[in-house]
């Protein structure tokens, strides 16, 4: 895989996308389709979650099949915070990131000692353990999950209605994309991608490979936790299903469709998958099959993901 380097058109395009996203709720309201603001928020949140996996998978070369555990953990932390009387996102969201990040640090510290299929299985095993933990936790709703009493507040301003949460999700995604783009082109990203390409060579250059992998894994977990906290606010529920391996699979599919190792791979993949799903569900009860066929098409015609069609990455 090639190394990431920012393309010259990337900055203007990002700014244009941001402006379009800022205008979207107003636009939807103008044409009487406010209903889609919630859907757009969902896309933003999953874009964030898939991007966090892309950091781990695409840039770090770590095929984790347990990434949803960190998404779910973030959602539960938000719900538990609210239950404990902390309704402020400025407190609950960092807590969600911290808990998910620490959890990822623990999972990574153990699973990153293995490689290949063992790594995949261990990350999966940890996620399933976390899933059963939440399913059996009566205080947190067991398999019904833990509902929120309403949307939280951000800096004292309530997130009720669809639009405030949309803007909060957009702000989070924009900040994360900015950070992601910077770190990918900084020493850390360079190191991480070189380890993905040739771990042994990096050891032979004096790099303590494990540390960089672990840092990326934990950072990916923390960002997934942020997405989870947002998602709990959107759906009003922290559900154990969020930690299921199928959810991890969905995130993987998003990254693969969008483009593994491409900065915008997670965003593009989340957008495509969720839009297709929304569209196909309305069209046919067999939407799963239709979706499968479309995915097959992506794999056949854009094997590097859709983001790869837009820009050639240079060395």
Residues that bind another protein (CB under 8 A): 1-3, 179, 182-183, 185-191, 194, 197-198, 200-209, 212, 215, 315
Give the nearer residue to another protein in terms of CB position, either 73 or 172: 172
Give the other-Cβ count within 10 Å of 42's Cβ.
Answer: 20
Cα gap 151→149, rounded to integer Å: 7
In whole angstroms, how far apart are CA 144 and each of 46, 130, 176?
22, 15, 31
Q: How far is CA 211 from CA 114, 195, 215, 216, 218, in A?
A: 14, 11, 6, 9, 10
In angstroms, give the least distance from the CB of 267 to another protein.
20
Shortest Cβ 10–another protein spacing (Å): 13
CB closer to another protein, 183 vs 254: 183
- Min separation Cβ 1 and another protein, Å: 7
Rounded Cα–Cα distance for residues 195 and 200 (Å): 8
Contact present, 45 and 102 (Cβ < 8 Å): no
Of 45 and 56, CB closest to another protein: 56
The CA distance from 100 to 223, in Å, is 8
The DSSP letter of residue 149 is: S
Long-range contacts, 36-41 (Cβ 8 Å, 24+): 37/162, 37/163, 37/166, 38/162, 38/166, 38/234, 39/274, 39/278, 40/166, 41/162, 41/165, 41/166, 41/169, 41/230, 41/234
> Distance (Å, rounded) from C-alpha 52 to C-alpha 217?
9
Q: Which one, 200 or 246, has the nearer CB to another protein?
A: 200
Q: With respect to another protein, which residue has the nearer C-beta, 201 or 286?
A: 201
Select 42 or 196, whichever has its Cβ closest to another protein.
196
Cβ at position 112, least distance to another protein in Å: 14
C-beta of residue 228 within 8 angstroms of C-beta of residue 75: yes
Least CB distance to another protein at residue 48 (A)? 18
Nearest-5° angle of CA 43, CA 308, CA 267? 15
Nearer to another protein, 202 or 308 (CB): 202
Beta-bridge mates of residue 157: 154
Query: Tokens 């992998």 belong to which residue?
Result: 213
Question: Nearer to another protein by C-beta: 3 or 39?
Answer: 3
φ/ψ of residue 236, rounded to 5? 75, 20
CB of 6 to another protein, least distance (A): 8
Q: How far apart are CA 206 and CA 202, in angstroms?
A: 7
- Work out how close the CB of 114 gets to another protein at its nearest, in angstroms, rounded to a whole number: 16
Q: Nearest distance from residue 285's CB to another protein, in Å? A: 45
For another protein, the closer CB: 16 or 205: 205
What is the smallest separation between the CB atom of 213 and another protein, expressed in angstroms? 12
């Amino acid at each position: 895989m090639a190394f990431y380097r920012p393309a010259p058109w990337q900055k203007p395009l990002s700014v244009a996308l941001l402006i379009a996203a800022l205008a979207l709720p107003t636009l939807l309201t103008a044409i009487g389709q406010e209903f889609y603001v919630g859907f757009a928020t969902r896309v933003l949140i999953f874009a964030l979650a898939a991007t966090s996996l892309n950091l781990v998978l695409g840039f770090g070369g770590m095929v984790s099949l347990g990434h949803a555990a960190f998404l779910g953990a973030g959602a539960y932390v938000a719900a538990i915070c609210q239950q404990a009387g902390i309704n402020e996102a400025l407190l609950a969201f960092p807590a969600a990131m911290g808990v998910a990040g620490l959890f990822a640090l623990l999972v990574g510290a153990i699973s990153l000692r293995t490689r290949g299929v063992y790594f995949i299985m261990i990350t999966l095993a940890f996620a399933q353990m976390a899933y059963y933990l939440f399913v059996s936790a009566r205080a947190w709703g067991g398999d019904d999950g833990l509902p929120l009493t309403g949307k939280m507040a951000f800096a004292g301003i309530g997130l009720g209605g669809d639009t405030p949460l949309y803007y909060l999700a957009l702000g989070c995604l924009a900040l994360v994309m900015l950070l992601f783009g910077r770190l990918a082109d900084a020493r850390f990203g360079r190191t991480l991608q070189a380890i993905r390409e040739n771990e042994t060579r990096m050891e032979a250059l004096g790099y303590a490979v494990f540390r960089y992998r672990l840092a990326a894994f934990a950072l990916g977990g923390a960002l997934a936790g942020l997405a989870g906290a947002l998602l709990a606010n959107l759906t009003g529920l922290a559900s154990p299903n969020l930690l299921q391996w199928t959810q991890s699979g969905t995130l993987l599919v998003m990254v693969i469709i969008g483009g593994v190792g491409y900065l915008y791979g997670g965003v593009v993949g989340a957008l495509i998958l969720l839009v297709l799903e929304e569209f196909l569900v309305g069209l046919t009860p067999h939407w799963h099959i239709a979706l499968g066929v479309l995915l097959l098409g992506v794999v056949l015609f854009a094997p590097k993901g859709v983001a790869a069609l837009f820009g050639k990455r240079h060395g």
